Structure 1
Amino acid sequence: MEFADLIKTPKLDGVFLHDHTHATVEGTLCITGHHLLLSARQENSQELWLLHKNIDCVEKKPFVVQNIIIGGLITLKCKDLRIISLEIKFAKEYYNVAASLEALSALHNAEMEYPFFYRPMYAILEDGYTMFRPELEFAKLISVNNANNTNGIDNGGCEWRISNVNKDFSVCKSYGMTLIVPKSITDEQIVQSSMFRDGGRFPVLSYRHDNGATLMRSAQPISIQGIKRCRADEAILNVVLGRSKKGFIVDTWGKGKSNTETDQHYSQWKKVNRAIGNVSSPSAILDSFVKLIEACNDVNCSPDKWLSRLESSGWLTLVLNSLNAACVVAQCLDQEGSPVLVHGAKGFDSTLIVTSLVQIILNPDCRTVRGLQALIEREWIQAGHPFASRHRYSCYTPQQNRPKNSGATFTLFLDCIYQLYMQFPCSFEFSTQMLILLFEHSYFSQYGTFLCDSEKERFELRVNARTTSLWSYLNRPDVLKNLLNPLYEPNSNVIWPSVAPISLELWNELYLRWIVDQKHSSTAIAQIQDLVTLEKELRTKALKLRKHVTDLSNEILELMNVES
C-alpha cells in the first residue's frame, strides 16, 4: 500500500481553520503521507503543521441544505489535547479529506510511521541509542558509593552480574537482551523463574541504593493449576536478601486482583499492598484521563461543578496513590535498608511508575536531564512498556473504539514528576517543558525512541539504525538550553514529598494549555530567567571588585613597607 492510495485530495484551497484561539484562518490545505499542512493566506498567520499520528479522533459534521450536503466541518481531536476544525465548502472534497485523515491517522504498520522517513537537518552530536547502553547503566546501579552511606546499613551478601540469557528474547519477549541478575543465580534458574512469572518477567534489578538495599521489579506469579511454587524464583529472592532479616514485596495492582507469593515459601518477605487504583486493565487509567480532559475542556460549567468533575475523574487520586506507593518503597530502601520487589499484574504499568518514582525520590542523578532520560530508557523503554499499544489511542477516541490495552500510564508517571517538581522546584535540572515534550513524543514523533512495544520489536525493525533518537535531539546545546530549570541547585538529599491531597495541583501547563492563556506563565518564567542571569552577572562583577580591592590593598601595603 502506498500513501498516494490513501490521499484522495492532496491539495485544497479555500479551507477555513478554527483552532483553540477561536480565530478563523483561511488557507490552502495540503495532505502528505505523514502531515497535514495548512498555509494561511494572511500575513503573520501561523501555519498548521500536524502529524497524522497526532490525530486521535476525526469527527464529521456535514452541512446540509435542502437535504443536500454542500460541505462540512471536520473536527480533529489530537493526542496533544488540541481540538481544531477544518471547514470545507464542497461535499466531495469534504468526504475525501475526512476519509484520508481517518485512514492516515489509523495506520498500524510501524515501518510506515514518520520516524522511518525523517532525516534530521542537523549533525548528530551524540547517538541517543548508544548513550544509555544497559551495560553502562547497570554498572552505575551495582556500584555502591560508600562515601554516601550515612545510615550505616548494608544488606550485603549479594553480588550481581550481567546476563545475556535473553539475548534471543526466548526467555521473556518484553525484556531486553541484557539484564542484571544475582551473580550466584544460574541462567537455568532464571529460565525456571520466568516460567513462574506472568509473561516471563522474572525479578530483575531496578536500582541499588547507596546503603546497598536493592529495588527489583517483576510480574506477578502466574495462576496455573498445579503450580504453587518455584524454587528457582525463591532462590533469587533469598539471595537478594543477603544479611537482611526481611524484605518487602509491594503489590501495586490491588488486593484480591492479583496473585502473589505465598507466605510459606517466601517467609522472610513481607507482603505490602499499595494499589495505584481500582484498575482491572490499563484502559482504566485511560478512562480516568478521559474524564479529566473532559472536565478541563468544559470551560462553561460553574467552578463548583468543574471541581466536582475534576475530583470524580479520579486522576489526582491515581497521582496521589502512585506517590504514596513510591514513598513506602523508598522508605523501605532508605530507612529500613531492606530489599524490595515491586510487581503488579504483568509489570508493564503501575510497577514501572513506582520503581521510577522511587529512583527520582532517592537518587539525585535522576533529577538531572540525562538522569531522567536514562531512567526512562531503563525503566520504560528497555523494560518493555508497550508504548505502541498504550498510545495508539488517547483520551478523545470513544471507549468502544479503543482496545483494552490502551492506556495513559506514562502520562500518569509524568504528572507525578510534575508534582515532585512543584514541591521541590530547585531540585530538578530540567523544567516542566521537558516533561511536556516527553508527553508529546511518546504519542507522536519524528524520532524512533518510543516506537514499538518492546526491544524485540525494535530490534527486528532495526529502529536504532533506521531512525533518529529523541535523546540526540534533546541534548543538542541549542535545544537543551530551553529545557533547563533556571532555579536549579543540585540537591544530593532524598526528597520526601507530601502525599496529602491538598499538596497536589492540576498540571494546567499541559491539561489547560489550549484552553487557558499561558502567556502569564511564560512571562513569569522569562522574568525568572532574567533575574537568574542578572544575579550571575552581579556575582561575577562582585568577585572582580573584591579582587580589585584586594589588589589595591596589597599595593598600598607594599608602598607603606617601601616608605618605612
Structure 2
Amino acid sequence: MERTRIAKVDNVKLSRRGEQVLGTLHLTPHHLIFSHTPPPTTEDSQADNTVSPRPRELWITYPIISFCTFRPAPAVSRQPSSIRLRCRDFTFVCFYFPDEAKARDTYDSIKSWTCKLGRIDKLYAFTYQPQLPERDLNGWTLYDARKEWERLGLGNPDLNCGWRISNINVDYNFSPTYPALLPVPSTMSDNTINYAGRYRSRARIPTLTYLHPVNNCSITRSSQPLVGVRKNRSIQDEKLLAAIFSTSSQERPLASSTPPSLEAESSNSSQEDQQFGSLTDFELSNAEELEDEVISAARREGKDYKPQIYGAQQHNLIVDARPTVNALAMQAVGLGSENMDNYKFATKAYLGIDNIHVMRDSLNRVIDALKDSDLSPLGPDRDQLARSAWLKHIAGILDGSALIARQVGLQHSHVLIHCSDGWDRTSQLSALSQLCLDPYYRTLEGYMVLVEKDWLSFGHMFRHRAGHLNSDKWFQVENDRMTGDPNRPGFGDAGAAGKALENAFLSAKGFFNRDNASRDSLGESDGEAQLFDPDKSTARPRLAASEAEATKVKETSPVFHQFLDATYQLLYQHPTRFEFNERFLRRLLYHLYSCQYGTFLYNSEKERADCKAKERTRSVWDYFLARREQFSNSKYDPVIDDNKRGSERLLFPKTNEVRWWSEAFGRTDAEMNGPRLSSGAPSVDRDYAGGRLTPVLTGVETAERSISTASPAPSARPVPSTASSGMAALAAGLSNFGLSGGSDNRQERQRPPIQSKEVEVEMQ
C-alpha cells in the first residue's frame, strides 16, 4: 500500500511558541521534515552579502507523535487548514497549509506512516544506517550478564557470597519475560526453583538483581504471588525467600538438599482443589518441619547471630510497591500479596505507588497544561501542573527507593521488591535504589549497564508502554475531538469510576478465562481482557498481525520516563556525583520514542533474541558512546570517601526538594518551577494537591500484626505525610515491632484523613 499521498508541500507555515516561519514540509517513510531558510541578520549582511543563511530543519520521527489533529478550514473564516502535533518529547507544533486538499493528504500520509505499519520491524531502526564514529561501535556488547554478576561478587570462590547462577531459564521456557541467567541462592536446587515459579505471576520468582559488596546483602525482585481468595501458599517459595534472606549469614539455616517429597510434588497443581496446599500427610509433615526450621533460623539470626558488619541489625523487608488496598483487591482474581503468617522471618511494607493508569493520566494532565505551546508564547498553567500530581508521584518513587537503599546500605538487611508483574514499579525502585547504593551506576557506562540489567534484561514492556506502533485514537479530525473520546490524552476525569469498574471486570474476565495450565497469571495485555486463547483449538480466530501488534492505549504509561525524571532529581541534588549530565537523560528520553535504535523496541530479552535485534538494529548506546564529550558532567568528582562529606558511597534523595524537569518538557526553569526560595530550592509545596505530600508507606505487615491506611493499629505512631524520608516513614510504621529504623529530625505532621475513592484493580 502506498502510504505517501504527498511527499512535499511548499509554503507551509510552522507555528511554535507563538512564532511562525514559512518553509517546506517533506514526508519521508520515517520522518516528517520541515525546512526553512531564516532571513539574514544584520551581522550576516555586513560580513558577506554573497553568503546565504544555512537552511534549518526540524525532524520529527513518526513514532514520537503522541497526538495529531487535522482542522479543516472553517467555511466562514479565512483561517487556513492546520495540523497540530504533540510529540512524546514534548515538542508542540502546528502546520498551516494554503491548500486544504494538500493538508488533508498530508494528514492521511502522516497517519498511515504512523499507525499502519503493523509490525515492529517496519520501524526506522531496521533501516537506520549510522555514520562515523557510530559505525565502529557495538553497544550491544556493553552489557555482559556474567561479567556484571562477577563484579558484584558472584562466581568468586574466595567471597563465598551464597549465590549461584542458574541456567533453568537459558531457553526462556521457565519464564519468557525473565533473563536467561538467574542468580539464586546456592542452597536452592533448580527443581525447587521450578516449583517455586508456579506460585509467582508469570514465573517471575524472587531472584537477585544487586549484591552489596560491603555487607553481602541483596536486592531481589519478583512478581506478585498467586495467593487468591483461598490464601494459597507455596512451601518452595517460602523456602526460596528464606534462603535469600540468609545468604549474608555465616551460618546457613537451610540444608543444601531439598526433602524428596518437596522435589517430587508441586504445591501448585493446575486443578483448583489441589492448588497450593493439598499435600499428603508426609509432605505436610516435611513442610511443617521446614517452616519451623526457617522461622527458628530467622529468629536465631536476630538474637544469636553476630553480623559481619559491626553494629548491623538485620530486619529483612518485603516491599510491595502497590497501595495496600489495591494489593489486597488482587486476591479476587487469584493474585495478591504475601501472607506474612508464612513469611515470619521478614516484614512487609506497602509503598502506595500508583499503577500505570494513574501515571498515564497524570502525564496527560501535564500535557494539558502545556498543550497550547504551539500557538501561545505564554508559560504553562501552574495550577494545572499542580493538579497533575506528577511531582507527587516522582517523590513517592524516590522515597521508596531511598527506603530500600537505607535498608540495604545502612541497616545491612535484604530487600525483596515486587508490584504486580514486577516489570514497572519494580524496575523503577530496583534501579533507583542501586543508583543510591553503588557509585559505579553513576558513571556513564554504569548507568547504561543498569538500564540493560534492570529494564531490558529483567523485562519491561517497552513496546506497550511507549506505544511504538501508535494508535488511530491519537489521530483525529477537529470535529471528532469535540465528541469527547475518553481515550485521548488529556480528556480529563469524566467517567473515572466507570473506567475503574470496567478494568476490574475485564481483569477478572481475563484471569478466569485463561488456560489453567498456563504459568501466566493474566493475558498478554495488562489492563484489558484477553481476547483469545491461542492454546485452545476452539478459541476465537487469531487477530491479524497488524491488530495483534497495534498499540493499546490503556497499556501505555510513562514508567521509564519517570525513572529518568527521578534520576534527574538525584543529579540535580548531587551534581558532583554523576559522570553524565542532564542532556544525557534528555536524549535518552527522546530515543526511547524515536525508534531509531533497537534497544527499546521489545518487551523482554527473549523477544530481542527471537527477533535478532542485535543483528538487525543498532544499540542506542552507540549514539552516546560516540558523543561521550557531549554527555559528560564537568562537575563530576569520582572520589569515594565515606569520611568526607559529599563524597560518601551512598547518596539519598531530598524528596522535599523534588522539582520539575523543565528541560525535558521543553520549558524554562522559571516557567515550570516558578520563584525560588531564599534557600535556593523551588517552592515545591505549590505543586501538590492540598500543598502536602502523601506518605510513601501505606501499610506495614508482619506475622503478628499489621498497620495500614485502611485499619491502622490504635497504638501505632502516625505515618508522616511528607515523603522526605523513607526510613523515617518506615521507623514510624515499624516502631511497635521493635525494629530499628533511621532517625529523622524533621517535624512529623499528622496523617491527612483517608479519602474514600474507587479502587481500581491493579493491572501493572
Q: Check whether TM > 0.5.
A: yes
Contact 1:34 1:51 in 2 (8 A): yes
Q: Where does 1:155-174 land on structure 2 (aligned, <5 Å)?
A: 159-174=162-177
Deviation at 1:416, TM superposition (A): 0.9
Contact 2:465 2:557 in 1 (8 A): yes
CA distance in 1, matches of 2:417, 2:424: 11
Q: 1:39 to 1:355 in 2, by over 3 A?
A: same
Query: Identity percentage over the alignment?
Result: 28
Contact 1:348 1:384 in 2 (8 A): yes
CA distance in 2, matches of 1:173, 1:112: 24
SS at match of 2:342: coil
Deviation at 1:231, TM superposition (A): 1.5
Aligned match of 2:369:
295
CA distance in 2, matches of 1:317, 1:112: 38
1:219 lines up with 2:369 in the alignment: no
CA distance in 2, matches of 1:429, 1:453: 28
Aligned match of 1:274:
351
Aligned match of 1:187:
190
Aligned match of 2:67:
57
Contact 1:144 1:208 in 2 (8 A): no
Q: 1:92 to 1:293 in 2, by over 3 A?
A: closer
1:34 aligned to 30, 36, 46, which one?
30
Aligned match of 1:23:
19
Q: Which moved more, 1:254-263 or 1:109-118?
A: 254-263
Q: 1:456 to 1:56 in 2, by over 3 A?
A: same
1:368 lines up with 2:443 in the alignment: yes
Aligned match of 1:261:
338
Contact 1:353 1:413 in 2 (8 A): yes
Aligned match of 1:406:
556
Aligned match of 1:44:
54
Q: 1:307 to 1:19 in 2, by over 3 A?
A: closer
Aligned match of 1:237:
241
CA distance in 2, matches of 1:89, 1:311: 39
Aligned match of 1:105:
114
SS at match of 1:284: helix
Contact 1:221 1:261 in 2 (8 A): yes
If asked which structure has higher relative contact order (CA below 8 Å, sep 6+), I would say 2
Deviation at 1:157, TM superposition (A): 7.7
Aligned match of 1:465:
615
CA distance in 1, matches of 2:595, 2:362: 24
Aligned match of 2:415:
340
1:285 aligned to 336, 359, 368, which one?
359
Q: 1:66 to 1:256 in 2, by over 3 A?
A: closer
Contact 1:70 1:89 in 2 (8 A): no
SS at match of 1:60: strand
Q: 1:306 to 1:48 in 2, by over 3 A?
A: closer
1:178 aligned to 181, 184, 188, which one?
181
Q: 1:290 to 1:187 in 2, by over 3 A?
A: same
1:248 lines up with 2:314 in the alignment: no
CA distance in 2, matches of 1:310, 1:351: 26
Deviation at 1:35, TM superposition (A): 0.9
Aligned match of 1:138:
149
Aligned match of 1:532:
none
Q: 1:15 to 1:307 in 2, by over 3 A?
A: closer
Contact 1:158 1:182 in 2 (8 A): no
Deviation at 1:343, TM superposition (A): 0.7
1:310-338 per-residue CA deviation (whole Å, 9 max, x = no partner) reads 22211111111111111111111112211
AA aligned to 2:487 is Q
List runs of 5+ in structure 1 lacking aligned partners: 146-155, 519-564
CA distance in 1, matches of 2:79, 2:364: 33
Q: TM-score scaled by structure 1?
A: 0.82
Contact 2:226 2:232 in 1 (8 A): no
AA aligned to 2:141 is T
Deviation at 1:6, TM superposition (A): 1.1
Contact 1:391 1:443 in 2 (8 A): yes
Deviation at 1:365, TM superposition (A): 0.6
Q: 1:334 to 1:54 in 2, by over 3 A?
A: same
1:446 lines up with 2:596 in the alignment: yes
Contact 1:60 1:98 in 2 (8 A): yes
SS at match of 1:105: helix
1:269-321 per-residue CA deviation (whole Å, 9 max, x = no partner) reads 11112222xx3x41211111121232345688999x94432222111111111
List runs of 5+ in structure 2 lacking aligned partners: 39-52, 250-300, 303-314, 328-335, 475-484, 489-551, 641-647, 673-764
Aligned match of 2:83:
74
Q: 1:412 to 1:198 in 2, by over 3 A?
A: same
Aligned match of 1:530:
none
Aligned match of 1:202:
205
Aligned match of 1:504:
658
Deviation at 1:419, TM superposition (A): 1.0
More helix per residue: 1
Contact 1:160 1:183 in 2 (8 A): yes
Deviation at 1:225, TM superposition (A): 5.6
CA distance in 1, matches of 2:654, 2:394: 9
Contact 2:404 2:433 in 1 (8 A): yes
Contact 1:70 1:91 in 2 (8 A): no
Aligned match of 1:556:
none
Contact 1:71 1:88 in 2 (8 A): yes
Deviation at 1:140, TM superposition (A): 1.6
1:98-157 per-residue CA deviation (whole Å, 9 max, x = no partner) reads 011112122341000000000112253432111102111122223599xxxxxxxxxx98
1:396-440 per-residue CA deviation (whole Å, 9 max, x = no partner) reads 957515622111111111111111111111111100000101111
Deviation at 1:351, TM superposition (A): 1.1
1:312 aligned to 370, 387, 394, which one?
387
Deviation at 1:34, TM superposition (A): 0.6
CA distance in 1, matches of 2:180, 2:216: 25
Aligned match of 2:6:
9
Deviation at 1:260, TM superposition (A): 1.7
1:151-210 per-residue CA deviation (whole Å, 9 max, x = no partner) reads xxxxx9852222221222222121122222222212222222221111221111111112
Q: TM-score scaled by structure 2?
A: 0.61
AA aligned to 1:494 is R
Contact 1:218 1:341 in 2 (8 A): yes
